[in-house]
Structure 1
Amino acid sequence: MSKKNKPTNQKEMSFIEKARRTQIVECAIETIAEIGYAQASLGQISKRANISKGVISYHFANKEDLLDQIAIEYYMAWQSYIAPLIEAQKSPKEMLRVYIESNLTFIEENRKHVIAVIEVVSNKRTSDGKFRFASDHDETILLPIENILTLGMQEGIFRKFTRSSSRVMALTIRNAIDGFTLELMKKSHLDVQEYTRELVTLFDKSTKK
């Protein structure tokens, strides 16, 4: 093999490996969404992907590594989708509206991934028994809401919040969005637009100065 061809082949191999990893993660998501966290063995995932367990082991250290990737990729996709939409808004009121709307849209369009993440986050624990994603998940999810509330307060658009009450409001907004997730899992034909309008109206009134 010539030096001229080697970089090209390396790039092709990197692309193939990336595509294979993506396929494995997607099959893991579908498997967990269908049969749950406890039943989603590497055997079940490899069967769905039509590959051997050895191929999964080549790309992921173990099942835990693969399950971590499901949550990590979901958060990265969520952030990439939500952040630009919020940053494009000119007022905190619109930022809050878009935060709610875009979250519900993202959840609706990624139902299987959402179900898989809920399963992983609810079940995966560290060696000392603590939930694997609990603390990091709370802070990264709540901080954007708290920042919007703080900005709205500074600009005189939102009512005054203390540090504690800002956290309460952020939690309430996030829990309402997560509640939508659970409702959507139970009712596949849920009127998402009506649900979204009601949440936007509710939090517009509760944050208004």
Structure 2
Amino acid sequence: MTAHQAATAARKEQIARAAITVLAERGYQATTFEAICQEAGLSSKRLITYHFSGKEELFAAVADQIVADAEAYMRPALEGVTDAGDLLATAIRANVAFIADNLPQVRALQQILLNGGQGLWERHHIESQNRLAGLFAKGQGSGAFRPFDPQVMAAVLRASIDSVAPLLSAGHDPGRCAQELVELFGRGTRDEQSTRQEERQ
């Protein structure tokens, strides 16, 4: 990456992060280029329009930034975990922890989605579900998980993780929320023989 490319990437990230803050604190309608410019400490909104043609392009960058933040946050926890059951539990806990520690990003994304931005998030949502489906399919291949439709289970898990955001915003304990999901999906995915053996112990 050249110095110019690095400077451009840094400026775009600065603008995206400022947009996240304004969205989270003031809402969609108040997230104007002027407000973002003020939050980012930029001298002119032309510095925004130079990089982004309009709100849709900027909010697409916001979605990309949130995904990048989530992946960077969760990667250390997931690295080196190979057992399917452990990986499922770790992924659930890491997802819930990211939401709990990054509520402004979640509120910013909600503002975009509530104001017609579903298309900006759809690709990321599908990619996340597909990764979870791959985890389930791999677990089934190793015999750790019972037979079920991996895509259906992935969709339910993704929705369940996302649904804890309002609870976390209201002050619910992230560890307890994560543990409930770990137990729920642990029981829902394990093969019956493993579940019976666990219950006898």
TM-score by length of 1: 0.81
DSSP 3-state at the match of 2:50: helix
Which protein shows a greater Rg?
Answer: 1
- Structure 1 residue runs of 5 or longer lacking an equivalent are 1-9, 126-130
Residue 42 of structure 1 pairs with residue 42 of structure 2: no
Which of residues 124, 131, 136 is equivalent to 1:137?
Answer: 124
Indicate the residue corresponding to 1:86 in structure 2: 78
- Aligned-residue identity in percent: 29
1:65-93 CA-partner distances (Å, limit 9, x unpaired): 21110001112232344356435212110
Displacement of 1:158:
1.0
Q: Residues 134 and 117 of structure 1: is their aligned pair in 2 closer, same or farther, counting only changes over 3 Å?
A: closer
Give the structure 1 partner of residue 101 of structure 2.
109
TM-score by length of 2: 0.84
Query: Hey, what does 1:207 align to over in structure 2?
Result: 189
- The alpha carbon displacement at 1:138 in A equals 3.5
Give the corresponding residue for 1:193: 175
In 2, Cα distance between the equivalents of 1:120 and 1:107? Answer: 16
- Runs of 5+ consecutive residues of structure 2 not aligned to the other structure: 192-201
Structure 1 Cα separation of the partners of residues 39 and 79 of structure 2: 39
**Which secondary structure state, in structure 1, belongs to the residue aligned with residue 164 of structure 2?**
helix
Distance 1:48 1:83 in 2: 29
Separation in structure 1 between the aligned mates of residue 105 and residue 68 of structure 2, nearest angstrom: 12
The Cα of 1:38 is off from its aligned counterpart by: 2.3
Query: Which of the pair has the greater relative contact order for Cα pairs under 8 Å at 6+ separation?
Result: 2
Matched positions, count = 189
Q: Please give the per-residue CA displacement for 1:37-68, whole angstroms capped at 9, x wherever unaligned.
A: 12211111112223221121122222222111
